[in-house]
Structure 1
Amino acid sequence: MRHTPLTRQDLSFASKTIIICILLITSSMFYFIINNEQSSSSMGRLTSSFTSLRSSLEVNGVRCRLSMKESDNWFCESDSDWKRRKILHHIQDKRNRISNSRSLFFQNNWEPTIQCAFERRLGNTGDGGKWVCDIHRFGGNNTKILVYSFGSNGDFSFERAIQEQFPKAEIHTFDLGVYQCPANVCTFHQVRLGDGKNDSSKSFQTIVTDLGHARREIHLLKVDIEGSEYNLFEEMFRISTDKTIQVMPYVRQILFEIHLPTDRSELSSQRTHRLFELFRANNYAIFHKEANLFDAQNVFEYALLHVNRAFFIAQS
């Protein structure tokens, strides 16, 4: 048989064919390697997601029972984190009554002992706004929270901010002056706030009874009443320990401005110490403190969170 010799054109075609085959094989190998790595990465991410979910379920379902119990169902965190939180509270609490010096009272006394991861300010950025602890824990925007705002002076920025977060909130604003709540935001009550005794004032107990809220939870109690907060809180906590009073509302957070009495002696300091000890005795922990720079020596903003009595018991 006679063989036909290969021409240069035939060799060129064969070379190109071989090169194309090599490129196809190489591309296939790269595709396989990359796809395999992506699959491994995806599997790793999926495994990580399941691990995180399992961890979250463990915390929410089992491991946060202690924190939920001792915070009155407010914080959900692992037992180790909760115990660490309690230790830090007790360390600071022991340092919170240091001095009776009137001139630098708030510089030396009553610092926060508990922290809120999602604390936020509602209302004006200056005077009038208040810091709230983890407001999302109250629930979704359909939650019908109950809010008391004692002291307004015509500033309703706090009430507006609450209403924006919770359109179904029931908000009551109280002031000695006569003001008009913004439409569909709050209900205004003209009243003198205090201990309800000899100054024509109304006490906290009288107000909640008149409004039919004695069996309700008050989610936020905002107080800015220019010095009358002493009488208001002292009477409020006296009532809470009075065995003849059957029902008092549960107040979750107290957000208030405190004004040192004009008495320049240490008697005003001692009364302020007693007030904060009343808060602690009634299971309130400080989570925020800031000076009012209009009168930083005498006026401070505080925010308190109600937790279970067990939180205040030192670990052995």
Structure 2
Amino acid sequence: MHSKLKSKISKFIVHVIGFSCDTTMVRFVVRLPTILVISCITIILLYFLYEFLKTSEISNVTLPSVFIEQTPSPPEIDYVSRRLRMKRSFNTEPVCSRPSPRMIELYKSQAPQRRAYFQIVLDSPSKNYMYLYNNLAPEVFCPELVRVGTTNDGGKWICSPFRIPSQCNILSLGLYNEVTFEQELQHIIKNRCNIYAYDMNEQLPRTIEIFKEIRTKSKVAMISDFTDESKNVYTIEYLLNLEGITDFEILKVDIEGSELTVIPELLIKHRPAQIMIEIHGTPSEATSLLRTISNHGYWLYSYEINGA
């Protein structure tokens, strides 16, 4: 999303093993006619090989699995659009639920070990995410945790969107024409909020048309910790002041690494009710940002590993 020129580089590591052989020299004494015969046979074989390759379709060649790493084609059905056409009512009140005391007790007893692993991650330059991924756990229980938008990359888990207040502001940083979250969220809350969407790239005409239907104002903007209008580079605070926004209910962030510097600064002045953020960087950087967000009074209710 925010320049989905995401660094998605697949690295194929090919190990070429050089055999070091103590080879005994063998002398071949070959007469000239034999050489001519061998040469003719070689030429004929090369010709047939050339003709075979020329007539064979490359699609019929099975490559080693290491080279076949393309993402499969997505489903042909646009499931989000299908859901948006459904007449659904979200006015029913949920049955109040909460985790059991024994579940809470077990989670609490594991907390010291999780904190110890997080400290190791913070202190280590390692790029291995195992300790971070294995020790993350929800800190609060959301009885209405739902996925909004596509079930693939671009959708977000959100806690009880049905209770979002009227006339609220929603800040969406990073788009790359994937706006199913914004679409379905406004569908659920009946277009009762204003969305302000920013991406470093101009959005496609079809995306702009969708924005008109879901009360969304967009702007080409690269989010950074400084502002340079001549290059469409802006701080979040500058954009908020530009729109006259003083508070916002939801903050959705996917800005390819810039979150590491801009989110800590933003939270000094603002307190959105929910933050949905895709974090990049090293395990230590990701853990540090999570700790900063936590220190501002936020609790983790959901997380996922993005395989995109």
| Rg (Cα) greater in structure | 1
Question: Partner of 1:121 in structure 2?
Answer: 147
Write out per-residue CA displacement over residues 86-130 of structure 1, whole angstroms, 9 at most, x where no aligned residue.
Answer: 766654543145142421343234322112111111111101100
Distance across 2 between alignment mates of 1:120 and 1:90: 25
SS of residue matched to 1:124 = coil
Distance across 2 between alignment mates of 1:201 and 1:109: 36
Distance across 1 between alignment mates of 2:127 and 2:226: 28
Structure 2 counterpart of 1:158, one-letter code: F
Question: Partner of 1:170 in structure 2?
Answer: 194
Identify which of 209, 232, 240 aligns with 2:262: 232
Extract unaligned runs of 5+ from structure 1.
1-75, 241-247, 261-267, 295-316
Question: Partner of 1:201 in structure 2?
Answer: 233
TM-superposed deviation, 1:249: 3.6
Structure 2 counterpart of 1:177, one-letter code: N
- How many residue pairs get aligned? The number is 198
SS of residue matched to 2:273 = strand
Identity of aligned residues (%): 24
Q: Is the 8 A contact 1:92 1:113 kept in 2?
A: no
Greater strand content = 1
Distance across 2 between alignment mates of 1:150 and 1:120: 21
Return the TM-score normalized by structure 1: 0.55
The answer to whether 1:211 aligns with 2:243 is yes
> Where do residues 68-83 of structure 1 align in structure 2 (5 Å cutoff)?
none
Distance across 2 between alignment mates of 1:83 and 1:284: 22
TM-superposed deviation, 1:271: 2.5
Question: Partner of 1:184 in structure 2?
Answer: 213
Question: Partner of 2:67 in structure 1?
Answer: none
Write out per-residue CA displacement over residues 137-157 of structure 1, whole angstroms, 9 at most, x where no aligned residue.
Answer: 325xxx223211110001111
Identify which of 252, 256, 264 aligns with 2:273: 252
SS of residue matched to 2:170 = strand
Distance across 2 between alignment mates of 1:84 and 1:170: 41
Write out per-residue CA displacement over residues 68-103 of structure 1, whole angstroms, 9 at most, x where no aligned residue.
Answer: xxxxxxxx979x979889766654543145142421
Identify which of 135, 138, 144 aligns with 1:112: 138
Q: Is the 8 A contact 2:170 2:249 kept in 1?
A: yes
SS of residue matched to 1:272 = helix
Extract unaligned runs of 5+ from structure 2.
1-94
TM-superposed deviation, 1:163: 1.4
> Where do residues 76-95 of structure 1 align in structure 2 (5 Å cutoff)?
90-91=108-109, 93-94=111-112, 95=114
Structure 1 counterpart of 2:143, one-letter code: A
Write out per-residue CA displacement over residues 213-261 of structure 1, whole angstroms, 9 at most, x where no aligned residue.
Answer: 12x3x22111111111112213223xx1xxxxxxx3430001111122x
Report the aligned-residue RMSD.
3.0
Structure 1 stretches of at least 4 aligned residues deviating more than 3 Å after TM superposition? 80-94, 197-201
Distance across 2 between alignment mates of 1:253 and 1:154: 22
Return the TM-score normalized by structure 2: 0.57
Change beyond 3 A, Cα 1:234–1:88: farther
